[in-house]
Amino acid sequence: MSEVLRSLLFIPGNNPGMIQNASVFDADGIIFDLEDAVSLEEKDAARTLISMALKTFDLSPKKIMVRVNPLNSVWGPEDVLRIASCHPDAILLPKADEKAIEACGKLLDEVEKNKGFEANSIRIFALIETAFGLEHAREIVDASSRLDGILLGGEDYTADMQIVRTREGLELSYARARLANLCKAYGLQFIDTPFTDVDDFEGLTFDIQEAIRWGATGKAAINPRQIERIQHAFMPTQKDILWAKEVLEAWSEAKKQGKGVCSLHGKMIDSPVVVRAEKILENVMAYRQKEEALS
Amino acid sequence: MINSIGRVLPEYSEGYGEIRPFAGINKNVSNSEYMNRIDTVKKHKASKRRNNLAELIRELEIKDGMTLSFHHHLRNGDKVLNMVMEQVAEMGIKDLTIAASSLFPVHAPLVGWIQKGVVTSVIASYISGPVAQSISQGDLKYPAIMHTHGGRARAIESGELVIDIAFLGAPTSDCCGNINGVQGPAACGTLGYAVSDAEYAKKVVAVTDNLVPYPAERVAISQEYVDYVLVVDSIGDPDGIVSGTTQITRNPLGLKIAAQAVKVIEASGYLKEGMSFQTGAGGTSLAVAHFLKEKMLEEGLVGSFASGGITGCLVDMFEQGMFRALLDVQCFDHEAIRSFRENSRHQAMSASKYGNPHNKGAVVDQLDVMILGATEIDQDFNVNVTTGSDGCIMGGSGGHSDTAAGAKLAIVVTQLVKKRNPIVKESVTTVTTPGESIDVLVTERGIAVNPRREDVRKQLLQAGIHLVDIKRLKEMAYELTGEPQALDKDGRIVAFVEYRDGTLIDVVRKI
Amino acid sequence: MKIERPSQAGSMESNDILIMLHPSNQSIQIQLESKVKKQFGKHIEQAIKETLDEAGVTQVLVVAKDSGALDYTIKSRVLTALSRSMEGPSYE
């Protein structure tokens, strides 16, 4: 699951109306939530409902994740076993640490074997939402080859840290920077925390920019109305695209002339700049393909 | 016989007469004589003012079989119809026809009078609540007749619907019957649906709870049409006058549909300087107005007019300078009433000016873009807003068919599936508006263009909008819901659905 | 198989269905209330019955209050009610 996931929409696990319309929303991925969005009395009902939904609806090419309950809760292990039997693209594991990731991996091994699924085909995303989890992020990444990415849970993290979560989100900078760097180093996706005020679109836009600044590859959403802005923010601007094209043209001209550096509008171009330009155009291609597939 | 959209109709019906089948949206042109009933009114210098309803009813000499008319500007707060009918029923009169522009849940007492035979015929453009239920169950002696708003004005003005006595709820009146709708405790704004009744009924009674010294100002209906002015304690409950459905939806599906609809308007070339626009008062339709507003602000466009039943949402656009005028047949909320009171460019229009297909020019024909709802829509784009999928009456055309026929671009916005009901169907339960007059259908799972509008299809494709065949939308709906069981088609006819030109487009059968 | 303990699952929210199971000595009986009963009544009863059949239940009284649920929801709610009846709620 190494392709782009700009936006991931959380859908409450016990809400039939929302679940059956998941395909309608333009998010790159869906996270069916069995954890925080489901009351204690309805955990069993939600698990059955999501299992049935996964068997009933073809949501491709959207990526489908299910946030299970923590593995150390009474529901967690059963969630993983039951949900994995329906083969979602990934399990999103809350309160992740290396032990939980390892345990989850073993449960998935079991299901894949019993069900005859391809080994390692069900992936894991780790939800890091505690100070401990953040400190152990590196170990979490090493704990399973199934890991495709990390999602930062900003609400729980700031609560655990006993700090206030603000509209500006400066308090998340360390976690964002650290996880972005780690994910980049290991070729994983870093999905930023959702912005919780669903009516504040200005705040949302600022929050996405902040996440992108630190290196997030995608962002979670808790309301369908947030998706369009998230998708849009990850798309390189026309100005960026133009710049990238000019850089590559200048570079190819320089190479023809046997030069290792050249300049554009008075600024030096060397190989890191070229890599950046190539990456921008690659992203544009990837996002456009994604949009084609979703439309 | 079978009409041009394949609906099976009787040739004749008691209480209705010969049936003229629907033949296409512009096929039936008027051949009736213009009948001005003003000449029939006897001039008198005696005072018009009356203070006692019972005495007035006796003075009016109401007889069995007469037709009494009412307007619906006080909507679910209306007290006039029930008040009048209670007196009439007490006098033992029977076999009456009620010609109301619309009937609401508040008119529940009518059910009793229908069951007792006091009322044997009902004519309305929209019926909801217990009366709709009662008619659907077959309580009414003769089938109800359901007009469009424009069709009702046409029927009255052509003499097809003769009103013996019109009772006009008048938020304000003077002693000579100069009526306005903007003052008084039951202020409701414009009085567009009452105008034809006032001009053509044999006798006209203004019923008011706000008698002002002569002459009243802001006159909507003038004294030369009014025979009596009846003063009562209250004509309406202000809480019921303002309808509750005038909020923009928060449903994410509705918002997605609305955003797509605006893209359709833009891509089809109608988003331009001077555009005219109308939308119904449903949550999704209002969201279209909201997104359109953002788009018009972004592009700095000024439209010519917005029309219809006016809501606060349209008033807001108007006051921000996005339309030069509002053409208003009825005010849906307090904002609309206030705006109409304060701003001369917020103009009233009669139902006839709004949508009568046979007068010398209706506003609907000046419309560029119309946003419509649908309870059901079939593969030929025929729309039902008259009955639910269970066959029970729950609404009616109102201005649906009128605006669809007039507007250059008529867009239906609806969810594909609502509470297991597939909205796009093989065949609609009842046809209200012919598919011929619908151009585009926007749902959350895809956009379909009527094959009659090849021009629109090309423009949308050019703009990169993904289109699907309406048959595919139907399949998508049925994949989710399963195929609905067919309703009984043999039941007795309980209502005739008239197209705006007076031909019969469909019938409603007993549930 | 017979249902020994009453149980319920689902809700009266839009697009959901409330399924109540009652012990009974007779074969499967279904009492359905639904706004779409005319269009989908048989269909809904069929979905309930199939789910019970597959679970091997032969004796039960089902009271169902439907608010426009699709089949996947109907089946899920029946299954949840069944497991609640067998095991009792797991959170207790």
pLDDT digits (tens, 9 = 90+) for C10-38: 999 999 999 999 999 999 999 999 999 99
Per-residue tokens: B255 = 């918002």
Contact A130, A165 (CB under 8 A): no
Q: Show the CA angle centred on residue B485, arms to residues B480 and B486, nearest 5°.
A: 130
Residue in chain C nearest B484 by alpha carbon: C39
For A121-166, how does the pLDDT look when each residue is reduced to its tens digit (9 = 90+)? 999 999 999 999 999 999 999 999 999 999 999 999 999 999 999 9
Candidates B386, B104, B413, B381; CA nearest to B261 is B413
Neighboring chains of B (3 or more beta-carbon pairs < 8 A): A, C
Q: Is the peptide bond before A61 cis (omega within 30 degrees of 0)?
A: yes
* A41 neighbourhood in chain C, CB within 8 Å: 89, 91
Tell if the CB–CB gap between B252 and A20 is shorter than 8 Å. no
**Across-strand partners of B309?**
B330
* C14 neighbourhood in chain B, CB within 8 Å: 419
Distance from CA of B372 to the nearest CA of A (A): 21
Q: Give SS3 for C90.
A: coil
Per-residue tokens: B315 = 């008033």
Residue in chain A nearest C89 by alpha carbon: A41
Q: Which residues of B386-399 are buried (b: 16+ CB within 10 A; e: fewer)?
A: bbbbbbbbbbbbbb
**Across-strand partners of B509?**
B493
Residue in chain A nearest B466 by alpha carbon: A295
Mean pLDDT of A68-85: 97
* C39 neighbourhood in chain B, CB within 8 Å: 389-390, 420-421, 484-485, 487
Does the pTM exceed 0.85? yes
pLDDT at B244 (0 to 100): 57
User: Any residues with CB less than 8 A from the CB of B100 and at least 6 apart, and which?
Assistant: B69, B70, B71, B72, B81, B107, B122, B123, B124
Candidates A32, A45, A48; CA nearest to A91 is A32
Distance from CA of B468 to the nearest CA of C (A): 24
- Helix residue spans in B372-427 (DSSP H): 400-406
pLDDT at B30 (0 to 100): 67
Of the candidate ranges A151-165, A237-251, C18-32, C40-54, the one whose mean pLDDT is the lowest: A237-251
Of the candidate ranges A181-195, A244-258, A281-295, the one whose mean pLDDT is the lowest: A281-295
- Residue type (1 letter), B450: N
Mean pLDDT of A268-293: 84
pLDDT at B173 (0 to 100): 98
Q: Give SS3 for A274.
A: helix
> Is A1 a residue whose pLDDT tops 80?
no
Cα–Cα distances (Å) from A186 to A20, A147, A215, B247, in that order, read 35, 10, 13, 49
Contact B53, B83 (CB under 8 A): yes
Tell me how far apart the alpha carbons of residues A3 and B256 are, in angstroms, rounded to a whole number: 26
- Walk along chain B (511 residues) and give the pLDDT tens digit of each residue: 999 999 999 999 988 889 999 999 988 876 666 555 555 455 566 899 999 999 999 999 999 999 999 999 999 999 999 999 999 999 999 999 999 999 999 999 999 999 999 999 999 999 999 999 999 999 999 999 999 999 999 999 999 999 999 999 999 999 999 999 999 999 999 999 999 999 999 999 999 999 999 999 999 999 999 999 999 999 999 788 876 556 778 889 999 999 999 999 999 999 999 999 999 888 899 999 999 999 999 999 999 999 999 999 999 999 999 999 999 999 999 999 999 999 999 999 999 999 999 999 999 999 999 999 999 999 999 999 999 999 999 999 999 999 999 999 999 999 999 999 999 999 999 999 999 999 999 999 999 999 999 999 999 999 999 999 999 999 999 999 999 998 877 889 999 999 999 999 999 999 9
Candidate from C35, C42, C43 with C-beta closest to B419: C35
How many beta-carbon pairs below 8 A join chains B and C? 41
Beta-strand relationship, C7-9 and B203-208: unpaired
Tell if the CB–CB gap between C36 and B390 is shorter than 8 Å. yes
Residue in chain B nearest C40 by alpha carbon: B484
- Residue type (1 letter), C39: Q
Contact B498, B430 (CB under 8 A): no
φ, ψ for residue B206 (rounded to 5)? -90, 125
Candidates B30, B9, B10; CA nearest to B501 is B30
Cα–Cα distances (Å) from B273 to A94, B301, B304, B305, B324, in that order, read 53, 5, 8, 11, 11
Tell if the CB–CB gap between A20 and B253 is shorter than 8 Å. no
**Can you say whether the dihedral through the CA atoms of B62, B67, B73, B77 is positive or negative?**
positive
| DSSP annotation string for B427-456 | S-SS-SB-GGG--EEEETTEEEE-TT-HHH
pLDDT at B282 (0 to 100): 83
The phi-psi region of residue B313 (left if phi > 0; otherwise alpha if psi is between -120 and 50; otherwise beta) is alpha
Q: Is some CB atom of chain A closer than 8 A to the CB atom of B418?
A: no
Tell me how far apart the alpha carbons of residues C39 and B380 are, in angstroms, rounded to a whole number: 21
* B421 neighbourhood in chain A, CB within 8 Å: none
**Can you say whether the dihedral through the CA atoms of B276, B281, B287, B293 is positive or negative?**
positive
Tell if the CB–CB gap between A21 and B255 is shorter than 8 Å. no
Reading across the β-sheet that carries B376-378, which strands appear in turn? Answer: B383-384, B376-378, B424-425
pLDDT at A253 (0 to 100): 87
By CB atoms closer than 10 A (0-12, 13-18, 19+), residue A284 is middle
φ, ψ for residue B121 (rounded to 5)? -145, 140
Q: Is some CB atom of chain B closer than 8 A to the CB atom of C40?
A: yes
Tell me how far apart the alpha carbons of residues B476 and A270 are, in angstroms, rounded to a whole number: 53
Candidates B470, B440, B125, B411; CA nearest to B285 is B411
User: Any residues with CB less than 8 A from the CB of B7 and at least 6 apart, and which?
Assistant: B22, B431, B505, B506, B507
Beta-strand relationship, B17-18 and B49-50: unpaired
List of E strands, B132-287: 144-146, 165-170, 172-173, 179-180, 203-208, 228-231, 277-279
Could you give the angle at which helices B454-462 and B252-267 cross, rounded to 10 degrees? 100
Per-residue tokens: B191 = 């009085």
Q: HSE of B294 in the Cβ direction (CA atoms, 13 Å)?
A: 9
User: Any residues with CB less than 8 A from the CB of C40 and at least 6 apart, and which?
Assistant: B420, B481, B482, B484, B485, C34
Tell if the CB–CB gap between B418 and C41 is shorter than 8 Å. no
φ, ψ for residue A159 (rounded to 5)? -65, -45
Per-residue tokens: B147 = 């007009």
pLDDT-based confidence at residue A289 (cuts at 50, 70, 90): confident
User: Any residues with CB less than 8 A from the CB of B494 and at least 6 apart, and which?
Assistant: B135, B136, B137, B138, B140, B143, B144, B393, B508, B509, B510
Tell if the CB–CB gap between A224 and B255 is shorter than 8 Å. yes
Q: Is some CB atom of chain A closer than 8 A to the CB atom of C87?
A: no
Per-residue tokens: B495 = 């209502």
Which one of B419, B421, B489 would you mutate to disrupt binding with C, by most C Cβ within 10 Å of its Cβ? B419
> Is A28 a residue whose pLDDT tops 60?
yes
Question: What is the DSSP-derived secondary structure letter of residue B75?
Answer: G
Tell me how far apart the alpha carbons of residues B372 and B381 are, in angstroms, rounded to a whole number: 12
Per-residue tokens: A112 = 């894949």
Tell me how far apart the alpha carbons of residues A66 and B25 are, in angstroms, rounded to a whole number: 52
Question: What is the DSSP-derived secondary structure letter of residue B486?
Answer: P
Q: HSE of B395 in the Cβ direction (CA atoms, 13 Å)?
A: 20
Tell if the CB–CB gap between B420 and C68 is shorter than 8 Å. yes
Candidates B405, B421, B423; CA nearest to B413 is B423
Candidates B58, B89, B77; CA nearest to B235 is B77
**Across-strand partners of A267?**
A264
Tell me how far apart the alpha carbons of residues A18 and A143 are, in angstroms, rounded to a whole number: 34
- Residue type (1 letter), A24: V
Q: Round to the nearest angstrom and report the end-to-end CA distance of chain A.
A: 20
Tell if the CB–CB gap between A44 and C83 is shorter than 8 Å. yes
Per-residue tokens: B468 = 């699907």
Cα–Cα distances (Å) from B333 to B75, B107, B310, in that order, read 11, 20, 8
Q: Is some CB atom of chain A closer than 8 A to the CB atom of C10?
A: yes
